[in-house]
Every structure is written in C-alpha cells, then in structure tokens.
Amino acid sequence: MMKGIDKVMEHAEQTDRLRRLMSPNRGRSVKQNRQKLLLLTQLITSVLILLLVLAIDIENEGAMKVIAKMLELPFNMALRFPNLDLQSLPFAQNLNPEVLGAIVALLALGFTAAYKYITKPPKGCLDPENFKDFKLIKKTQLSHNAARFRFALPTPSSILGLPVGKNILVRGKDSNGEKVERSYTPITLDSNVGYFDLVVKMYPNGKMSHHFREMKEGDYLAVRGPKGRFSYKPGQVRAFGMIAGGSGITPMFQIIRAILENPKDKTKVHLIYANVAVEDILLKEELDNFADNFPHRFKVYHVLNKPPQQWNGGIGFVSKDIIKSHCPQPAQNIQILRCGPPAMNTAMATHLGELGYTSNMQFQF
Ligand SMILES: Cc1cc2nc3c(=O)[nH]c(=O)nc-3n(C[C@H](O)[C@H](O)[C@H](O)COP(=O)(O)OP(=O)(O)OC[C@H]3O[C@@H](n4cnc5c(N)ncnc54)[C@H](O)[C@@H]3O)c2cc1C
C-alpha cells in the first residue's frame, strides 16, 4: 500500500516538475486555476450561507429543528465537531420555512451555475477558417539559426485550443514582400495558459525564415488552425518510435509532452533525433530531462553528422541498424512517426519498409 502511495507521489512530483520545466514563468496549469476558483466559490458560498442564516427573520421553530437534525451528522463529520448540537444554535430555534426554502433554492441555483462555469472547458483561440493575430511577447535565441517565440493569447487565462498532434498555419512575408504561409507545431500544450511557444529553425534562404528573423517583440503573427491529419489519444498504441531531423522535433515534442504529463498514459516513446552538430539539437535540455525523469516511458538517442570528440550517441545518418536498435519492433500496436527534411523522410521510409514496418505502422508529419 505504502509503496503504491510513494509511487503516486513520485509521479505527481515528476509531472509537476515537468510542468514547471516547460513553463517557468507560469507554473499554474488550467487545472490548478480551476481548483483555486472552485475553492474560492466554495468559500464565498459558505460566507453567503452564514450571512443569510444570521439575517433571517427567526420565526418557525419546528421546521428549523428538523433541518438542523438532518444537517447535524454531515456538518459534524465535515467539521469534525463530534459533540456539536445544531439544534441548540440560536438560528435553529426560529426560522421562517418559506425563507429557508428560497435560500436553499437560490443556493442550489448558485452551485449549479458555479459548477457549470468551473467545469466548462475553456474555449480555444484558433479559427480554422480565418487568420488571427497573436502578439510576440518574447523571442529567445536558442542557437545561431533557431529561436523560441512566445506569443500572448487574448487573455492571461486563454488557451490556444490545439489538439495534440495538430499544427497551425502561419502567414508572413518573404524578403521580397510576397505573402508566404508555412506550417508550425507549438511546443506548448493547452496546460500552458495565456501563451503559446514556437521553436523555429531559420534557413538562410527560407521565405518564412526571413519573416521570423525580422520579427521583433511587440509584432503580430497571423495564425490559422488547427490543422493536420494526425490526432493523438492516450493508449492508441503501445509504443511510438519517433525519427526526427532538425526542426522536425516539434511535432514529436508536443506528443512526448502530452504523454509524459499524463500519469495515466502508459505509452512508451523511443525517439531518434538526428542533427548536424551538438549546437543544432533543439530542446536538448528538455529532452534529456524527460529521459532522466521518465526512464521507463521515454528514451532518446541522438545522432550527429559531426559529433564532438566525446560522444556516446550515433554518428552519421540514421541507418537501418540504428532504427532496429532504438525503435519498437514492427507490430500492430506500435507506430513510427517521421518528421525531417525531405531527403531524410524518403530515406527513413525506405529503411522502415525494409525492416518490415507496414504503411499502417508509419506516419509522416
Ligand atoms: C506539420 C509541420 C510542422 C512544422 N513545424 C515546424 C516547427 O515547429 N518549427 C520549424 O522550424 N519548422 C517547422 N516546420 C517546417 C516549416 O513549415 C518550414 O518548412 C520551414 O520553416 C522552412 O520554411 P521557409 O519558408 O523558411 O523555407 P523555404 O523557403 O520553404 O525553403 C528554402 C530552403 O530552405 C531549406 N529548407 C526548408 N525547409 C527545410 C527543412 N525542413 N529541412 C532542411 N532544409 C530546409 C531548403 O534548403 C530550402 O530549399 C513544420 C512543417 C510541417 C509540415
């Protein structure tokens, strides 16, 4: 029993650490905010009951005595007052039953409204048909050609509303002022309230890359979504193999986070992440932290074209042998997700086919 509780506690701590790791400025999740709101509502309602009860015209003795008797057990149990006799309280002696009825009805209405408000899932901010503008509030350079862009949502308690596995379409202007649209996958989830983050790799001649390079804090980005063919539900496979190259990590990262943040999700993830050099590895610290904190659920194998002298990951391109050693074996209840530059995607599809992974067992973002 204690072992079980320890395990649950350990898991809760890990999940909490993960959330704080991913949103250092705003550790509160939507769930935590709702719990606070629920507590506040309960407190306000309790104060209101007390005030109403004290303000009531004390008249009818009998009715209140019956109610006091009915309330006594749960009240005493809740407050842990074993010997409190509600019937002896002054308000219990005389109370107008009509007034009491009205109070109970009002309270029931209030509770129902508060419950509906609290349990209503927050509405997302995206529109699949129309572009909406989001303000860039922070730009953090991650390497010579990659940056993390944080965009504010309309209110501090708004959520983006992007289902796990989906992406967004972004509109900007290239270096000639021509309109350009490209897909991106936020690395934040709906458990991050008030903002969303994009990690973008900017190529020297890339059209949208130019737009992102030029963006300054305070500028707005036009975004439309959600879109994409992939959707994720906990337990849809036993294990994922993931093969990512460069900025192809972002769709994987989103799914990995969703899996690891959900203690009920038992899906295992095996990630192979290919880059040119160590400094090109996006989100390395976060990925390595996931591997340390969730060793039974997540494994990452880095592969580099130009490894440093001390390197215990893979070297060169992702080969059939690397896939064989670091991905789940072909089976109906596993899936291999791929996302990388076109040449890498083609090479991986060939390797996977030769290793016996059917097209149902593969997905390319
Ligand atoms: C579903 C989806 C999600 C994506 N999510 C992200 C994301 O979160 N972050 C991110 O940075 N990118 C992401 N991408 C890639 C993104 O959509 C753009 O393709 C990328 O930013 C380059 O666009 P560009 O207009 O700057 O380059 P383009 O003008 O389209 O290309 C110019 C040149 O840049 C180089 N280039 C372009 N794309 C790549 C590439 N992927 N690998 C290697 N070289 C390339 C090529 O040499 C190319 O000739 C995603 C793509 C898809 C399909």
Enumerate the domain spans of the chain: 31-119, 132-227, 239-364
The string of pLDDT tens digits covering residues 290-307 is: 999 999 999 999 999 999
Q: Which helix (H) or strand (E) holds 211?
A: helix 207-214
Check whether 184 is labelled as a binding-site residue: yes
* C-alpha to C-alpha distance for 29 and 193, rounded to whole angstroms: 7
- Say how many Å lie between the CA of residue 168 and the centre of ligand 1: 13
pLDDT exceeds 50 at position 2: no
Instruction: Determine contact, residues 282/246, Cβ cutoff 8 Å.
Output: yes
Q: Which fold has domain 132-227?
A: Elongation Factor Tu (Ef-tu); domain 3 (2.40.30)
Q: Which CATH code, of 3.10.20.30, 3.30.360.10, 3.20.20.140, 3.40.50.80, is assigned to 239-364? A: 3.40.50.80
The string of pLDDT tens digits covering residues 239-287 is: 999 999 999 999 999 999 999 999 999 999 999 999 999 999 999 999 9
H-helix segments, 294-341: 320-326
* C-alpha to C-alpha distance for 89 and 61, rounded to whole angstroms: 12
**pLDDT tier, 10 (very low <50, low <70, confident <90, very high otherwise):** low
Spell out a b/e string for 231-254, using b for 16 or more CB atoms within 10 Å of the CB, else e: ebeeeebebbbbbbbbbbbbbbbb
Strand ranges (DSSP E) for the chain?
132-143, 146-152, 167-173, 179-184, 195-201, 220-227, 239-245, 268-275, 298-304, 314-315, 334-339, 362-364
> HSE on the CB side for 251, CA within 13 Å?
26
Question: What Rg, from alpha-carbon coordinates, does the chain have?
Answer: 28
* C-alpha to C-alpha distance for 201 and 192, rounded to whole angstroms: 22
Substitution site in 200, 203, 224, 275 for ligand 1 pocket (most atoms within 8 Å of beta carbon): 203
Check whether 135 is labelled as a binding-site residue: no
Rounded mean pLDDT of 92-118? 70
| Closest among 323, 325, 266, 313 to 287, alpha carbons compared | 313
pTM of the model: 0.75
Rounded mean pLDDT of 66-87? 62
DSSP string, 110-130: HHHHHHHHHHSPPPB---SSS
* C-alpha to C-alpha distance for 102 and 111, rounded to whole angstroms: 14
| Closest among 356, 352, 359 to 243, alpha carbons compared | 352
- Say how many Å lie between the CA of residue 143 and the centre of ligand 1: 16
